[in-house]
């Protein structure tokens, strides 16, 4: 693991000083720089993981989404349900390989260290992402976060075969809904700390006692500054690359 710089270490210490017992993390752009869900989507279209019929549907559909003609949560859900009829094992293996090669080198070392230290302290750590369940599972294997602490865009899987029945799409208000659904019997009904980088993380950050805008997009950064949230910008030259 890449040694932390003094600034990275100071950031980790600043979070640990809050003694959080429950922390929620967005993933893409927050724990690593690229968008793993978007990257895997492009990869599987280019490499024949899905059928040609799905490819012909997916490319114009995604272009419409980028043009603002398809809602964020709808597109995120469709990027999971498009695998209906496929064996989950096949998709998971493809995600494992893709993440290790394309995304893992861009993990922010201070975020990996922070999660390690939080878990060691007894903090309950959750990954909350609108990317597909398989790519986030691949990622969380590297953070030692188990499947039952992942809230991602997820569908029902029956006897190892993927269906098109959505369980959740944690994006925007959906992130808060997902968090509350798993914490309803817990004394901790809101995160002590939450970490996100995009406007789709805003509601999750508002829910937390200590919001952190990590590597924020301009719109979230403006909100963070207005609300006096902590803003932290990882150094792209000090990743695991």
Radius of gyration of the chain (CA): 17
What's the pLDDT tens digit per position in 141-183? 999 999 999 999 999 999 999 999 999 999 999 999 999 998 8
**Please, what is the average pLDDT of the chain?**
95
pLDDT band for 3, please (50, 70, 90 cuts).
confident
What's the pLDDT tens digit per position in 63-98? 999 999 999 999 999 999 999 999 999 999 999 999
- Interval 214-235 mean pLDDT: 96
Nearest to 25 by CA among 106, 109, 143, 122: 143
- Cα separation values, 58 from 49, 54, 71, 102, 108, Å: 13, 6, 15, 21, 30
How far apart (Å, rounded) are the C-alpha atoms in residues 183 and 128? 13
pLDDT band for 184, please (50, 70, 90 cuts).
confident
Domain-by-domain residue ranges, the chain? 6-238
Q: Please name the fold of domain 6-238.
A: Rossmann fold (3.40.50)
Nearest to 49 by CA among 100, 98, 103, 94: 94
Q: What is the pLDDT of residue 183?
A: 85
Residues, the chain: 241
Q: What is the pLDDT of residue 55?
A: 98
Is the pTM for the entire model greater than 0.75?
A: yes
pLDDT band for 241, please (50, 70, 90 cuts).
very low
- pLDDT surpassing 70 at residue 133: yes
């Amino acid at each position: 693991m890449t040694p932390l710089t003094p600034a990275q270490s100071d950031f980790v210490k600043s979070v640990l000083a809050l003694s959080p017992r429950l922390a929620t993390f967005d993933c893409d752009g927050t724990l690593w720089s690229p968008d793993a869900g978007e990257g895997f989507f492009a990869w599987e279209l280019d490499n024949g993981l899905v059928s040609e019929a799905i490819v012909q549907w997916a490319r114009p559909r995604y272009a419409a989404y980028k043009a603002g003609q398809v809602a964020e949560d709808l597109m995120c859900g469709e990027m999971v349900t498009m695998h209906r009829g496929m064996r989950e094992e096949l998709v998971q293996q493809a995600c494992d390989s893709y993440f290790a090669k394309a995304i893992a080198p861009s993990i922010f070392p201070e975020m990996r260290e922070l999660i390690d230290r939080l878990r060691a302290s007894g903090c309950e750590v959750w990954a909350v992402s609108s990317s597909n369940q398989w790519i986030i599972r691949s990622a969380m294997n590297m953070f030692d976060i188990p499947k039952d602490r992942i809230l991602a865009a997820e569908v029902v899987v029956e006897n190892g075969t993927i269906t098109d029945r959505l369980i959740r799409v944690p994006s925007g208000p959906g992130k808060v809904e997902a968090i509350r659904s798993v914490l309803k019997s817990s004394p901790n009904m809101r995160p002590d700390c939450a970490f996100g980088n995009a406007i789709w993380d805003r509601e999750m950050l508002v829910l937390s006692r200590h919001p952190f805008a990590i590597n924020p997009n301009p719109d979230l950064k403006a909100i963070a500054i207005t609300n006096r949230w902590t803003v932290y910008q990882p150094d792209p030259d000090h990743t695991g690359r």
